[in-house]
Structure 1
Amino acid sequence: MLTDGGGKVMVASRTENIDNYNVISICRSMIAIFDAIVIILNRLAYDASVVTMQASVNAGIYRAIPSFFGVSLDNPEIANMPFMKTKLPVLNDVLVKAEKGEITYTGINTGMFLDWVLDEDIFVGLSDKAPTRVADGGDIPMSATTLDDIGKAISAVLLKPEETVNKLYYIHTVVMTQNQVLGYAREATPEADFTVEQVDTKVLVEAAWKRYNEGIRDRVSVRDFVIRASYGMGNGFFPRTDNEFMGIRQWSDEELKEEIFRRVKANPPDGVKAPEE
């Protein structure tokens, strides 16, 4: 997708020891040939993100597209959640450098990665191997974007460098609810159970904070903070998007239904026999 507009894209391979990424001069030498850099390091890679950004500045790179791809940080309560405490300093570092004129940036907030949350049973358990945790009733709209559309958005930014200077954009391929996707899955395979567990995100986050304050920093707590931020606080849905500017078309409900049917038919839920060809 990044090459559709005739641009040249190169991917820097990571063959050296990871310690090299803590050395700005080495990182600078690796990226100096680029005009822009897309930083997709996750929130746990704080040091690597900051080093990469400083190396980009030192190398004279014009544009950085940092990892704004997940949950928005506009809400102070969300920004204070433990799973965001490493992401916020990285974003602030970008903003400070941009304000000083050292580099320009463009943020792209995509909501959930649609391919990933469906592949991994994160949004709804299409495999039916475990109950779907339905948050706050299951009718909360959520924004999600395919990896292809994320690629289109990055390409659009790089092809419109002057128009996208120091701006944050919102995109989504589809808006969906858990109950909606569960309904499509049950329609596709009526013989499957698709069991659910109803959860109250306010209760989840209270328990998560209790565990965190007791020194329990496990994946369960991180997951529950994310669920609260995304569902319970309405932070996972973008009422306004920049889809048109980015060249992204939003799916209809029927297209989402077709995608769920395709997935369920291709990979039947646990205990359901695959149809004979």
Structure 2
Amino acid sequence: MSHTIKNVAIAGASGNVGARVLSALLDLEFNVTVLSRSSKPFPAAARVNVVDFTSVKSLSAAIAGQDAVIDTTFSPDVEAPLRLIDAAAENGVYRFITSDFGLDPDLPGVHDMPVFARKKASYEAVKKHAAHHRLTYTLVACGAFLDWGISSGFAGLDLQEKKAFIFGDGNNVVPWTTLDDVGRATANVLLHPQETLNRPVYVHSVFMSQNQILSATKGVLGNEGWETTYNDMDPLLENALADLKAGRISASTFEVQIQYCLATRALAHPWARDDNSLLGLEEWNLEKVKWLIQTIAHKAV
């Protein structure tokens, strides 16, 4: 049975991923309702509904009549996405897209990392509801965020100081996707409800190793003056997990877990299945990657 999706609610629309998803949804002329904790400014074409994310009742009232709900929140509250999923199931929402946007959720070991606890809980929840025919779901697997990873330093590169922090030997090739491509792919899922039914979809802008990204960066900024360190990720992971257990939590506590995955082929590698064509994405070539690096470097000056 085919379904036409027109009315879409999105949570987390002011975030890095959510803002791109919202823009892509509006470009495709969906009727969009933004679920927001406060009355923030959003594009005029979107309807804004202020909701209490701690209340299934509030969420349920806000998403009544929606064909799809997209969660792009990254709250540390593991229960928040589960309440949204329950509200969607109660209201007969056809499609739910969870806030995954990372590595292959079906790959053994990925969702066992504590940093991915809320993603694991959300995946298990939508599968449970789908098994009882209460909703359908999609997850978007996009690897690491290419543009954000380079600009924020998460990818291990400091463009201004010419420093490179390499995860392991730096040779593991993994998917990287720009935020704009993630937004476009997520919105396009709703144009292909049957092809994306109850499964992860796999997209990428590039498949590259950290060393290849560093080489591209040197091609833009020059080879001279770089300080490069290669780091054993095992003790870094052990320290991060110990800090987490002891309640010593910082951004690096979670970043190291993801960086460990990116260095480990068993946890991160090029997709066996590729949904780029289905979801309207084209793979980037090296020159486009260099253009992105140049743009980020210029903005950082």
Q: Which TM-score band applies after superposition, normalised by the shorter structure?
A: 0.7 to 0.9
Once the two structures are TM-superposed, the CA of residue 158 in structure 1 deviates from its matched residue by 0.9
Once residues 263 and 215 of structure 1 are traced to their aligned partners in structure 2, the CA distance between those partners, rounded to angstroms, is 34
Secondary structure at the counterpart of residue 201 of structure 2: strand
- Are residues 134 and 14 of structure 1, via their aligned partners in 2, closer, same or farther at CA, if it must alter by over 3 Å? same
- Contact 2:219-2:290 at 8 Å conserved across structures: no
Pair 1:155-2:187 in alignment: yes
Q: Deviations over 1:81-100 (max 9, x none)?
A: 22223331221011101111
Residues 259 and 86 of structure 1: CA distance in aligned 2, closer, same or farther (over 3 Å): closer
Match of 1:146 in 2: 178
TM-score (norm 2): 0.79
Q: Is the 8 A contact 1:5 1:159 kept in 2?
A: no
Query: 2:282 aligned to 229, 249, 260, which one?
Result: 249
Q: Which residue of 2 aligns with 1:2?
A: 25
Per the TM alignment, residue 214 of structure 1 is displaced from its structure 2 partner at its CA by 5.2
Q: Tell me, what secondary structure is at the counterpart of 1:105?
A: strand
Higher strand share: 2
Partner of 2:45: none
Unaligned ranges ≥5, structure 1: 269-277
| Equivalent residue, structure 2, for 1:174 | 206
- Indicate which of 257, 264, 272 corresponds to 2:297: 264
Distance 1:233 1:211, change over 3 A: farther
Which residue, out of 64, 67, 73, partners 2:99?
67
Instruction: Report the residue type matching 1:222 in the other structure.
Output: F
* Equivalent residue, structure 2, for 1:12: 35
Correspondences of 1:40-59 after superposition (within 5 Å): 40-42=72-74, 44-59=76-91
- Which protein shows a greater Rg? 1
RMSD over aligned CA atoms reads 2.5
Distance 1:68 1:182, change over 3 A: same
Partner of 1:123: 155
Q: Cα distance, 1:234 vs. partner?
A: 4.6
Q: Describe the shift of the 1:231–1:265 C-alpha distance in structure 2 as closer, same or farther (beyond 3 A).
A: same
Q: Aligned in 2, Cα 1:191/1:89: closer, same or farther, shift over 3 Å?
A: closer
Q: Which piece of structure 1 moves more, 168-177 or 122-131?
A: 122-131
Structure 1 distance, partners of 2:160, 2:269, is 25
Residues 33 and 68 from structure 1, CA distance in 2 versus in 1: closer, same or farther, beyond 3 angstroms? same
> How far apart in 2 are the matches of 1:216 and 1:6?
45
- Give the 3 Å change call, closer, same or farther, for CA 206–9 of structure 1 in structure 2: same
Give the whole-Å Cα distance in 1 for the aligned partners of 2:31 and 2:187: 10
SS at match of 2:52: helix
- Contact 2:51–2:62 under 8 Å retained in 1: no
What is the aligned length? 267
Gaps of 5+ in 2: 1-23, 40-49
- Residue of structure 2 equivalent to 1:271: none
Contact kept? 1:70, 1:112, Cα under 8 Å: yes
Of 148-157 and 121-130, more deviation after overlay is shown by 121-130
Identity %: 26
